[in-house]
A and B are shown apart, each in its own frame.
Chain A
């Protein structure tokens, strides 16, 4: 099973309002029934935006750059739709985001991104980025100020056991959608406790083949 989460930092150049925590959590399909592919993701209102209908980006960092980056991607996605007569797939958007970030390698977007959605086979995918576009498809990820608190928990829960272990352990533990969402809520609640920049609210975006839904969860406001 896999999940992905991203925390967030308070904007470096914005007013001093408390920023909501950001988290992205993602859980993969259960192997027993490949037709039930589900993926769950959460991202905050400030940084999340829907790109294709099966692809969502969550960003943390400098709000100005985040806004510019997401607008840029939205415009490019619209152009893609005009030219190719279909919406952009998640892997395509992942590459586009990487290229867009690297384009400003020498004056980067101060944005730490996690992209999530369903790929063309309907399986969930999570892509995690640094500020200049280095990216990797993973099962789960966390970015932002709370990430150092969240990532170890996700590793503990979701990382596949080492293939070197004897006897061989089953690599994939299926995580259902509700389990994934619960895990996300838990990690955020935990991160809120210790990270001063994480708190207030979290927006959880869940993408599955039925569609996309959003939940807003209140967090500690201190």
Chain B
């Protein structure tokens, strides 16, 4: 039985390494009836996972953990930030070839946006909530809602659903990216109501590949230019596609930040033409895709070296690019 417990998803707030109440397992589960008592292999999870308001003996809320599983099923999203800019990228997966892909990146305000993974319907509703919060704050205080407060409001809303028996947790993880007076920020909000600030993060299916890619580079991100951030975001998404070709139709990128001249570049999606240009220049620059093997440090050096050269090609487009998408090109 302990083996089964250990195999379950590791949970940040579980502090027990073992099952202290193991001796109770032998008593039949009253709710399930006695017919199950003898034959069914007993897993602790199934006894305590009916309600979100039921604790397990290990101090876990299984419904919340299951909600976090739902996030892992969604297609990948990646976020990174420098001191002045934050970038969100999402891999677009459509249910089948005939349908369009789901929207995963939403503009929440001029200075902030979210990318989500998991139940996109929940994400849509939460985006609407965040938009309202930003509008109301701006109405009352005539100032943009700071990103940390935005993440906090979202987290509080998520927490409510973990403590009401008639609700269920939101099945969506959100990467909240935004710009405020203290610079660019990236937060990850879980269905559990926890949130953390990140330099770079990836969520969704196959996100571990992207996380590994980012872990190797994140220390340099603060000094990155917006273009470099976008390139790394695309590379990270490429990692999650695992062999599938990266094109502008299977990824979405959005950026927000403060430009060098001090003006704000509002949160906006980058249009697909420009994404394709960047992808093409990336492919021209590096022959091999960014390697997962950690030993390939020399090839990483090359990537870094090539990237500035490749950037010159789209640099001519760059002054036009922020203006090129229509204002509402979401």
Where the two chains meet, the residues of A that have a C-beta atom closer than 8 Å to any C-beta of B are 53, 71, 75, 78-79, 81-82, 85-87
B138 within 8 A of A: yes
Q: Are B328 and A75 in contact (CB under 8 A)?
A: no
Q: Are A87 and B328 in contact (CB under 8 A)?
A: yes
- Which residue of A has the minimal Cβ distance to B138? A75
The complex places the Cα of A85 from the Cα of B132 at a distance, in Å, of 16
Can you give 7 contacting A-B residue pairs, CB < 8 Å? A75-B135, A75-B138, A79-B131, A82-B128, A85-B330, A86-B328, A87-B328
Partner of A85, one of B136, B139, B328: B328
Whole-angstrom distance from the CB of B209 to the nearest CB of chain A? Answer: 33
Where the two chains meet, the residues of B that have a C-beta atom closer than 8 Å to any C-beta of A are 107, 128, 131-132, 135-136, 138-139, 327-328, 330
The complex places the Cα of A51 from the Cα of B135 at a distance, in Å, of 15
Q: Are B139 and A79 in contact (CB under 8 A)?
A: no
Partner of A81, one of B128, B138, B139, B328: B328
Contact flag A87-B327 (CB < 8 Å), given A71-B139, A75-B139 = yes
- Binding site of B, secondary structure by majority: helix, strand, loop or mixed? helix
The complex places the Cα of A75 from the Cα of B133 at a distance, in Å, of 11
The complex places the Cα of A130 from the Cα of B264 at a distance, in Å, of 38
Contacts of A78 in B (CB 8 A): 135
Closest 10 CB pairs of A and B: A75-B135, A82-B131, A86-B328, A75-B139, A85-B328, A85-B330, A78-B135, A71-B139, A79-B135, A81-B328
Contacts of B327 in A (CB 8 A): 53, 87
Whole-angstrom distance from the CB of B299 to the nearest CB of chain A? Answer: 42
Whole-angstrom distance from the CB of A79 to the nearest CB of chain B? Answer: 6
Contact flag A82-B107 (CB < 8 Å), given A87-B327, A87-B328 = yes
The complex places the Cα of A71 from the Cα of B131 at a distance, in Å, of 16
Contacts of A75 in B (CB 8 A): 135-136, 138-139
- Which residue of A has the minimal Cβ distance to B132? A79
- Which residue of B has the minimal Cβ distance to A82? B131
Contacts of B135 in A (CB 8 A): 75, 78-79
- Which residue of A has the minimal Cβ distance to B330? A85
Contacts of B138 in A (CB 8 A): 75
* 17 extra A-B contacts, CB within 8 A, seeds A75-B135, A85-B330: A53-B327, A71-B139, A75-B136, A75-B138, A75-B139, A78-B135, A79-B131, A79-B132, A79-B135, A81-B328, A82-B107, A82-B128, A82-B131, A85-B328, A86-B328, A87-B327, A87-B328
- Which residue of B has the minimal Cβ distance to A68? B139
- Which residue of B has the minimal Cβ distance to A81? B328
- Which residue of A has the minimal Cβ distance to B110? A78
The complex places the Cα of A87 from the Cα of B326 at a distance, in Å, of 11
Whole-angstrom distance from the CB of B167 to the nearest CB of chain A? Answer: 25
The complex places the Cα of A93 from the Cα of B131 at a distance, in Å, of 20
Whole-angstrom distance from the CB of A67 to the nearest CB of chain B? Answer: 11
The complex places the Cα of A71 from the Cα of B136 at a distance, in Å, of 11
Contacts of B139 in A (CB 8 A): 71, 75
Whole-angstrom distance from the CB of A140 to the nearest CB of chain B? Answer: 30
- Which residue of A has the minimal Cβ distance to B127? A82
- Which residue of A has the minimal Cβ distance to B109? A78
The complex places the Cα of A87 from the Cα of B328 at a distance, in Å, of 8
Contacts of A53 in B (CB 8 A): 327
Contacts of B128 in A (CB 8 A): 82
Contacts of A71 in B (CB 8 A): 139
Contacts of A85 in B (CB 8 A): 328, 330
The complex places the Cα of A81 from the Cα of B267 at a distance, in Å, of 14
